């Protein structure tokens, strides 16, 4: 069965600093990978997705993620964070007819 | 499209009462998911449907929980009887087909007192 690990429960960065959120997956083949963001009291919004092709994918709000097969990783990055990026971020994996499995999330705090 | 629509947004009920959560997926979407989110357990998949058929209900906590999808445009999640430990935010999500992204509703915040 597939699984997703987000090793960082909580990350704090300064506004304007760069950001990298880690995500590792476990699956026998290449899965479909997603990053979602959840603001307080809201549902989850898709930031970006990887299905195939270019391993560096661009998403909304200036985010990008890179699929690295050798490391079974799909880390999310942003060169310069804004205070509005404070939220909870979820990595998810899904393949074929299987369910979407989410990681435990990483809470991002932005300090001035 | 209005997106995935869940109702009610908030529900407060007494222990032992029946609770029904409702979801209208995005029109044309073939898969529907019910998730539960709590501080302690994070985001848990309860059940998902493909073409109105339940595919995996292994996440349903116990017999008190049941879910139905009578047609492509409507699903319910029922808890009977409800217990305080069922208090959580319940999300419904839908996707066009397998191997596409899921779109989430705003959630139903359930409080059982």
Instruction: Let me know if B55 is exposed, middle or buried by CB neighbors in 10 A (0-12, 13-18, 19+).
Output: middle
Pairwise CA distance, residues A54 & A50, whole Å: 9
Q: How many Cβ pairs within 8 Å bridge chains A and B?
A: 51
Which chain B residues are Cβ-neighbours of A101 within 8 angstroms? 45
Average pLDDT, chain A: 92
Cβ contact A6:A104 at 8 Å: yes
> Can you tell me the mean pLDDT for B92-113?
92
Under DSSP, the state recorded for A9 is: S
- Select from B45, B56, B107 the Cβ nearest to the Cβ of A43: B107
Taking an 8 Å cut-off on Cβ atoms, the answer to whether B93 and A44 are in contact is yes
> pLDDT at residue B73 above 80?
yes
Per-residue model confidence (pLDDT) at position A101: 87
Residue B65 neighbours by CB distance under 10 Å:
20
Reduced 3-state DSSP string for chain B: CCCCEEECCEEEECCCCCEEEEEECCCCCCEEEEEEEECCCEEEEEEEEECCEEEECCCCCCCCEEEEEEECCEEEEEECCCCHHHCEEEEEEEECCCCCCEEECCCEEEEEC
Question: Torsion-angle region of residue A102: left (phi > 0), alpha (psi -120 to 50) or beta?
Answer: beta
Which chain A residues are Cβ-neighbours of B93 within 8 angstroms? 44, 100
pLDDT band at A58 (very low <50, low <70, confident <90, very high): very high
Pairwise CA distance, residues B57 & B43, whole Å: 15
> pLDDT at residue A100 above 80?
yes
How near does any CA of chain B get to the CA of A89, in Å? 12
Per-residue model confidence (pLDDT) at position B5: 97
**β-bridge partners, A44:** A38
Taking an 8 Å cut-off on Cβ atoms, the answer to whether B106 and A43 are in contact is yes
Which chain B residues are Cβ-neighbours of A9 within 8 angstroms? none
Per-residue model confidence (pLDDT) at position A67: 94
pLDDT band at A4 (very low <50, low <70, confident <90, very high): very high
Per-residue model confidence (pLDDT) at position A96: 66
Nearest Cα residue to A48 out of A29, A67, A35, A61:
A35
């Amino acid at each position: 069965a597939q699984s997703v690990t987000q090793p960082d429960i909580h990350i704090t960065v300064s506004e304007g600093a760069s950001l990298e959120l880690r995500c590792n997956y476990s699956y026998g083949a290449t899965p479909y990978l997603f990053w979602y963001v959840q603001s307080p009291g809201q549902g989850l919004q898709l930031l970006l997705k990887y299905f195939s092709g270019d391993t560096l994918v661009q998403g909304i709000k200036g985010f990008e993620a890179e699929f690295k097969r050798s490391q079974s990783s799909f880390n999310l990055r942003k060169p310069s964070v804004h205070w509005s990026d404070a939220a909870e971020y979820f990595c998810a994996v899904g393949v074929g007819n299987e369910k979407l499995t989410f990681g435990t999330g990483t809470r991002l705090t932005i300090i001035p | 499209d209005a997106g995935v629509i869940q109702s009610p947004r908030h529900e407060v009920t007494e222990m032992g009462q029946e609770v029904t959560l409702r979801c209208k997926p995005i029109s044309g979407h073939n898969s529907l998911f019910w998730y539960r989110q709590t501080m302690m357990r994070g985001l848990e998949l309860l059940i998902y449907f493909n073409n109105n058929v339940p595919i995996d209900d292994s996440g349903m906590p116990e017999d008190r929980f049941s879910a139905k999808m009578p047609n492509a445009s409507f699903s319910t999640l029922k808890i009977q009887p409800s217990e305080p430990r069922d208090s959580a935010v319940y999300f419904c999500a839908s996707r066009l087909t397998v191997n596409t992204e899921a779109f989430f509703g705003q959630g139903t915040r359930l409080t059982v007192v």
